[in-house]
Amino acid sequence: MEKEFTLSIFTENKIGVLQRITGIFTRRHINIDSMIASESEVKGVYRFTIVVNCSLDLIKKVHKQIEKQIGVLKAFYFTNKEIVYQEIALYKVPTKSFSHGNDVENLIRNHNAHILTVEPDYIIIEKAGHKDETQELFNKLLPYGILQFARSGRVAVSKQIKEITAYLRDLEEASLYSEKELLLNNK
Amino acid sequence: MDTQAKTKVEEKRKTKIRVSGAEAIVRSLLEEGTDLMFGYIGGAIMPIYDVLYSYQDRLQHVMVRHEQGAMHAAQAYARISKKPGVCMSTSGPGATNLITGLADAMLDSTPMVCITGQVGSGLLGSDAFQETDVVGVSMPVTKWNFQITKAEEIPEAVAKAFFIARSGRPGPVLLDITKDAQFAELDYSYEKITQIRSYIPYPKLNLNAVSQAAEIINAAKKPFVLVGQGVLLSGAQKEFKEFVEKAEIPVGSTLLGLSAFPSNHSLFTGMLGMHGNYAPNINTNECDVLIAIGMRFDDRVTGNLKTYATQAKIIHIDLDNAEIDKNVKTDVAIVADAKQALQSLIPLVNSNTHKEWIESFSELRKVEIEKVINKDCNPTSGAIKMGEVINKLSEKTNGEAIIVTDVGQHQMASARYYQFNKTQSLVTSGGLGTMGFGLPASVGAQIAAGDKRDVYAFIGDGGFQMTIQELGTISQLNLNVKIILLNNNFLGMVRQWQDMFNEKRYAYTELTNPDFITIAKGFGIEGKTISNREDIDKTLNDLITHKGPFLLEVKVEKEANVFPMVPAGGTVSEMILE
């Protein structure tokens, strides 16, 4: 059975890591629903957040393949219950759409959106939320005219207790251990 | 800074010398113990070749006739010498010609370090002459790859490449080096790499899993061990033998696992999978515990996963965590190097006997002998069979030679009828099934074996023509390679499928072949053709004592099929005998 999973992938900041990760999905014919990347709380460590729809069995296999890539420090997969997540959407609407009473103003208030900038021709509205929430505002703004609409990929933090800094310490130790083994086997 | 530390730093500074990037590459290769490499020169790699010219006394370079040949030769060299294979080529077409070999080495876990030249860094992305995005193209078929655009990056990149290629589950790596980085100078010093933060080649052994495995093995009435190449790669042959002898467990082998355990051992039951032996396939679905060591449950081994060993408890020992539960769900997984895992497992397993169970293999073996093996190895009429030639050579060489094969019917016949009594004896393309692998691989295998062991290459007429140009390399180096061309004028394995599944619609499988002996002569290689059964014996004797390369062409039965067989996606226990 297919389900929505969010992957949090921590990597070194190296050219090509992204391509290695996306290749794992491409090869298995899995479509990526959303993806973002930026530096994490640890300097030099990047966090990729990828949303996919697939079976639990498949996400487990994909997760192992991702962790196998050199340059990937740690990867996790979560169901939506295990994370707090958010997306951001920007709506560019004509300024004249505000001239019909206070309909649009009410929409902004009711949806917890806010205005970023006002120009003579257009106004930019920003809303953060889950996809269905940003979509709902989109649908409601549509009759007033939308010049542009852009939605970000999902950002997510996990509810789990152990943080990436702790995992990184484990990794340092584990990769050191492997050095000992290497010498032991004299390979 | 105290004086002592200061001196140390100064010493270190002193050891740095000013060299070109090209020279840094060659010096780094020497630091990693490379004394032999394979390759093909071209524009973007010329600076490195210019350095190689002055290093010929320390670093031998084998100039092949096509870059794909360099890869397969280096792969075979790696498998026999147990050192990473090193391969070099130019940019663009030279680099893309490596891809088949990279894919082959990736699937068969062969440690390889490949170096490709690249256009100058200022030209990257401009569609310059012989520019290809080699890092992008090779990404799915390398364990790791990296583009070097600055000479200073060279020592660390090479050190990383060797560390990654040979540690953990081995695999191919590729370094792409721009021409300007080869020309530029750097302050060179070399330090080996033994740790990369995002890479755990040898995970900590889970002792709990080991004792769980031992418990299951000790309680088993009908245990069965599958041996894969992981045992060879980890050098665990001794431990493996000790383990199966102590617990008295019969052994089935994957194609690449052959020669990890002697074929003439009483516990050896044969090869697994599609064209493996009857007993190990049938009893896969009879055993109560299946212990897989250093193998990955390839579909050619398992057939239909839904009906594969569903009655058995599965213990899977493999160094690659991504292999665990990939195809077959395990009851106990030990993510470890085979040697390390076996060393801790052996003391925990009880000495045991499984007489009746082992006899059940012998009974099935008798069926296969009667229905298949006798017909293949001891025919009295009709054209020569592949099996009888291989079986004869096996007897005459005592099962102690190195066998190289190409891909197809002759490959399966070689795996089935050569007795691998000595370890590290089979070089074949398993996972990728690369036709054209055999002839170049025989180059690398022979160079690695030197005069210590004899190398025989069984090759079909289809695969032979895919890389036939490497006869030039064999001739130039006067390599002691004995090529046995099993010629049926067909792409035999595909023809067999057409025979069985396409109502004999032989689409493009019949070949009109050249006179192979004349071709060999053109390369300065002696050759002989036989087509009569009575000539086999004497010709093989001559072949064995012949010094230097030799091509023996054996005209074999045109439309013979390899049996037994588990049709693709079929159930292993429903293997068909004829």
Residue-range domain boundaries for chain A:
3-78+155-161, 84-151
Contacts with A174 from chain B: Cβ below 8 Å:
200, 203-204
* More confident call, A162 vs B406: B406
pLDDT in tens, B300-347: 999 999 999 999 999 999 999 999 999 999 999 999 999 999 999 999
Q: How far is A93 from chain B (nearest CA, A)?
A: 39
CB B259 within 8 A of CB B424: yes
Write down the residue that tokens 């579909």 correspond to: B299
pLDDT in tens, B75-128: 999 999 999 999 999 999 999 999 999 999 999 999 999 999 999 999 999 999
3-state SS, B105-154, equals HHHCCCCEEEEEEECCHHHCCCCCCCCCCHHHHHHHHCCEEEEECCHHHH
How far apart are alpha carbons B234 and B258 in whole angstroms? 14
Nearest Cα to Cα of residue B199 among A34, A181, A115, A133: A181
CATH classification of A3-78+155-161 is 3.30.70.260, yes or no? yes
Residues in chain B: 578
Q: How far is A181 from chain B (nearest CA, A)?
A: 7
Write down the residue that tokens 């299951």 correspond to: B216
CB A108 within 8 A of CB A115: yes
Six token digits for residue A5: 């999973």
Half-sphere exposure of A111 (CA within 13 A, CB side): 29
Mean per-residue pLDDT for A180-186? 53
Q: Is B135 on the interface with A (CB under 8 A)?
A: yes
Six token digits for residue A132: 């269905």
Q: How far is A38 from chain B (nearest CA, A)?
A: 18
How far apart are alpha carbons B25 and B32 in whole angstroms? 11
Q: Cβ separation of A68 and B321 shorter than 8 Å? A: yes
How far apart are alpha carbons B25 and B184 in whole angstroms? 12
Q: Is residue B10 pLDDT above 60, yes or no?
A: no
Nearest Cα to Cα of residue B159 among B150, B141, B146: B146
Q: Of B5-9, B21-25, B176-180, B517-521, where does mean pLDDT reach its minimum?
A: B5-9
Q: What is the ipTM of this complex?
A: 0.92
Q: Cβ separation of A19 and B321 shorter than 8 Å? A: no
Mean per-residue pLDDT for B249-256? 98
pLDDT in tens, B257-293: 999 999 999 999 999 999 999 999 999 999 999 999 9
Contacts with B320 from chain A: Cβ below 8 Å:
68
Q: Is B140 on the interface with A (CB under 8 A)?
A: yes
* Of the partner residues A23, A70, A179, the one whose CB lies closest to the CB of residue B194: A179
Write down the pLDDT at residue A187: 44
Q: In the A/B pair of chains, how many CB contacts fall below 8 A?
A: 83
Q: What angle do CA B427, B432, B435 make, to 5 degrees?
A: 70
Q: Cβ separation of A178 and B143 shorter than 8 Å? A: no
Residue B422 main-chain phi, psi, to 5 deg: -115, 145
Report the amino acid identity of residue B315.
Answer: I
List, edge to edge, every strand of the sheet that includes B223-227.
B268-271, B251-253, B223-227, B289-293, B313-318, B332-335
Q: Is B33 on the interface with A (CB under 8 A)?
A: no
pLDDT in tens, A42-56: 999 999 999 999 999
Q: Is residue A186 pLDDT above 50, yes or no?
A: no
Q: Cβ separation of B201 and A178 shorter than 8 Å? A: yes
Contacts with A73 from chain B: Cβ below 8 Å:
197-198
Write down the pLDDT at residue B12: 57
Mean per-residue pLDDT for B365-392? 97
CA trace torsion B446, B447, B452, B456 (10° rounding)? 0
Model confidence at B1, pLDDT cuts 50, 70, 90, reads very low
Six token digits for residue B393: 């050579």
H-helix or E-strand containing B258?
none
Q: Say if A3-78+155-161 and A84-151 have the same CATH topology.
A: yes
Residue B406 main-chain phi, psi, to 5 deg: -95, -150
Average pLDDT score, chain A: 92
How far apart are alpha carbons B118 and B93 in whole angstroms? 11
Strand-pair category, A45-54 with A32-39: antiparallel
Q: Cβ separation of B202 and A19 shorter than 8 Å? A: no
Q: Cβ separation of B194 and A182 shorter than 8 Å? A: yes
Q: How far is B277 from chain A (nearest CA, A)?
A: 31
Report the amino acid identity of residue B412.
Answer: M
CA-based max dimension of chain B: 88
Nearest Cα to Cα of residue B138 among B184, B188, B91: B91
The DSSP code sequence of B201-213 is SSPPP-HHHHHHH
Six token digits for residue A14: 């190296």
CA trace torsion A61, A63, A64, A67 (10° rounding)? 160
How far apart are alpha carbons B507 and B494 in whole angstroms? 9
Q: Is residue A30 pLDDT above 70, yes or no?
A: yes
Beta bridge partners of B187: B18
* Of the partner residues B168, B194, B326, the one whose CB lies closest to the CB of residue A61: B326
Q: Cβ separation of B139 and A20 shorter than 8 Å? A: yes
CA B396 to centroid of chain Cα atoms = 24
Q: Is B111 on the interface with A (CB under 8 A)?
A: no
Write down the pLDDT at residue B9: 56
pLDDT in tens, B549-571: 999 999 999 999 999 999 999 99
Average pLDDT score, chain B: 96
pLDDT in tens, A95-116: 998 887 888 899 999 999 999 9
Contacts with A61 from chain B: Cβ below 8 Å:
322, 325-326
> Measured on CA atoms in the order B326, B332, B336, B337, is the torsion positive or negative?
negative
Q: Cβ separation of A23 and B196 shorter than 8 Å? A: no
Give residues 70 to 99 of B whose Cβ lies within 8 Å of A: none
CA B6 to centroid of chain Cα atoms = 49
Write down the pLDDT at residue A185: 53
Domains, in order of start, for chain B: 13-188 (3.40.50.970), 207-360 (3.40.50.1220), 378-559 (3.40.50.970)
Q: How far is A40 from chain B (nearest CA, A)?
A: 16
Beta bridge partners of B85: B112
Contacts with B198 from chain A: Cβ below 8 Å:
11-12, 69-73, 171, 175
Q: How many Cβ atoms from other residues are within 10 Å of residue B51's Cβ? A: 20
The DSSP code sequence of B539-562 is HHHHHHH--S-EEEEEEB-TT---
Q: Cβ separation of B200 and A19 shorter than 8 Å? A: no
Which positions in chain A have a beta carbon within 8 angstroms of at least one beta carbon in chain B?
A: 11-12, 15-16, 19-20, 23, 27, 60-61, 64-65, 67-73, 168, 171-172, 174-179, 181-183, 185, 187
pLDDT in tens, B470-483: 999 999 999 999 99
How far apart are alpha carbons B493 and B504 in whole angstroms? 13
Closest alpha carbon within chain A to B144: A70
**Strand ranges (DSSP E) for B150-249?**
172-178, 185-188, 223-227
How far apart are alpha carbons B253 and A134 in whole angstroms? 57
Q: Which of A17, A61, A70, A185 to mutate to test the interface with B (most CBs of B within 10 A)?
A: A70
Known catalytic residues of B are 67, 129-130, 179, 493
How far apart are alpha carbons B463 and B485 in whole angstroms? 10
Q: Cβ separation of B324 and A175 shorter than 8 Å? A: no
* CATH entry, A84-151, from 2.60.40.1180, 3.30.70.1150, 2.60.40.10, 3.30.70.2860: 3.30.70.1150
Contacts with B324 from chain A: Cβ below 8 Å:
64
* Of the partner residues B135, B195, B200, the one whose CB lies closest to the CB of residue A16: B135
Nearest Cα to Cα of residue B250 among B212, B274, B277: B277
Contacts with A44 from chain B: Cβ below 8 Å:
none
Mean per-residue pLDDT for B368-373? 97
Q: Cβ separation of B337 and A172 shorter than 8 Å? A: no
How far apart are alpha carbons B382 and A5 in whole angstroms? 62
CB B83 within 8 A of CB B57: no
